[in-house]
Each structure stands twice: as structure tokens, then as C-alpha cells.
Amino acid sequence: MSPLLSRLLVAVVGLPIVLALVYAGGWWLFGLLLLATLVALHEYWAMIRSLHPLALAGYLAGIATLLGAKLGGLEWMLGGLLLTLLLGFAFYGIATTRQPATIAIGSTFLGVGWIACGTGSLLLLRELPGGDKPRLVCFTVLLAVFAADTAAYAMGRLIGRHKLSPVLSPGKTWEGFLAGVAAAVLVAFFALYADRDTFLPIWQALVLGAVIAIAEALGDLFESTLKRDMRVKDSGHLLGGHGGILDRIDSLLFAGMASLFLLAAFGWID
């Protein structure tokens, strides 16, 4: 099976389930995001095992970060993230690892900040005020990320000639990246066009699509950088030859955080 066909198969099977839980929102979506967070953290700990991260502290802080997002909003989500430092220091004090505290605690904090804050941002987007607007925003982010990733991969394979990042990810091209930006902008435009007078005006919808595409590409490159540092091919094997959960949501984590703070800049988050 070709990599492109594999990507489409995973999307066809998984995307309807994800969209259904996003539509339901509430604790249903929280449960999905909590599961994704814990599995992704597990894959991250395995990937950086040589750094001896404080996994239990990271799991607890990740749960606290997501609960904070659900129960208290952005401030409490960031409070859960900061809890990583306290728990990390406490667990480091009783751990037997000889790894320097800077590396052990820092790598743990990175995992929680990257993964739990990414999934927490998606939860916060779904719980924005405005009736059906939060559901629409989440759908837009998910579909724009999928469209950007698929368009970038397909166009890069077809006409890609100029490497986007030869060292970090030799397979990515500028042609694919621009195709991904165009796809994400189009998704945001059509998804939000009907609400241009009551929600995001057209120019803000276009900016949102561009930001999602850029964050999606950076998220993919970020994980590629970590995997290159740790000398691993995939974050896990849960999806067989398709990699792990973290390989599938790396772009979405960055895109969710970028979308959340962009909407805050637009005045939709207090």
C-alpha cells in the first residue's frame, strides 16, 4: 500500500469518529483528547527514553493540564503545565536517575507543553462562547490540517523540486508547502464564509487558514527534529506501518495552539 493511500485510509476510518466526538463536545471530546494525550505521552517517553524523562510526573501534569482546560479555561490549563515543574522536581528528588535535572525535568516539561497543551487547546476551541461557533472552529481546524497535510504530500510527490528543510525533513518541498497553505486557506474560507457577518470576517478567516497551514508544517518539522535527535523513524507502532498516534497528531498540536491564540488576538477569548 502506498504512503498516500495509507494516509487516506487512516483519515477515512478515523476522521468520522473524531468529527463525531467533536460535534458532541463536552466530556465525550474530553475523553478522546485525554486518551490521545496519554498515548502520545507514552510514545514520547519511549522516543526520548535515553534522556530519562520523569514519566509519572508528566502523566499527572498532562492530566491536570487537560482537566484545567476543561474546568477552568486557558489560565488553569497553563497552571497544569506549570505543575510539571513542581512534580518534576519532586519526582527527580526521589528518582534514582543520574541524568542532570535540567535534562530530565526539561524533557518532561517539553512533552507536557507540546502534547497536553496542544490537545487542551483543541478542547478550549470547542468550548468557546457563541452557540455553534466553537463546533465550527474545531471542524475548520481539523479539516484544514487534513487538507494541508494531504495537499502538501500529494503536490510534493508530483511536482516537488525545492527542499523545504533538507536536513530536518528531506521529503518536504516548498511546492508542497504552498499547496498546503492554499488548501488550508480554502477550507477556512468556505467553512467560515456563511458566518462572515457574525463571527470571523473574511480576512480573519483567510489569516486563520494561513496560520493553520504554517503551524501544521512547523508541527510536523518539530517532531521530525525530535525523531532525528533520538534516531527513531516513528514515534510508535500503534497504527502499524503508519507510525504512532503522535505521528498523526503532531501537526494538529501546533495548529490547535496557534488557532487558539490567534482567536484570542481577534478578541474571541477573554
Q: What is the pLDDT of residue 2?
A: 59
Strand (E) or helix (H) holding 246: helix 245-265
Transcribe 146-163 into DSSP letters: HHHHHHHHHHHHHH--SE
How far apart CA 216 and CA 145 sit, in angstroms, is 6
The pLDDT tens digits of the residues spanning 149-183 come to 989 988 988 887 888 888 778 788 899 999 999 99
Residue 42 one-letter amino acid: H
Kindly report, residue by residue over 13-64, the tens digit of the pLDDT: 777 888 899 999 999 999 999 999 999 999 999 999 999 999 999 999 999 9
Q: What is the pLDDT of residues 72-112, one digit of tens each?
A: 999 999 999 999 999 999 999 998 878 899 999 999 999 99
Q: How many CB atoms lie within 10 A of CB 49?
A: 12
Considering the chain, what is the average pLDDT of its residues? 90
Asked if 155 and 179 count as a contact pair (C-beta separation under 8 A), the reply is: yes
Range among 109-118, 130-139, 160-169 rated most confident: 109-118
Most confident segment among 149-163, 188-202, 236-250: 188-202
3-class DSSP assignment, residue 64:
helix
Beta strands in 79-185 (DSSP E): 163-165, 169-173
Report the pLDDT value the prediction gives residue 268, as an integer from 0 to 100. 84
Domain range summary for the chain, segments of one domain joined by +: 3-265
pLDDT score at 237: 59
State what percent of residues in the chain have pLDDT above 90. 67
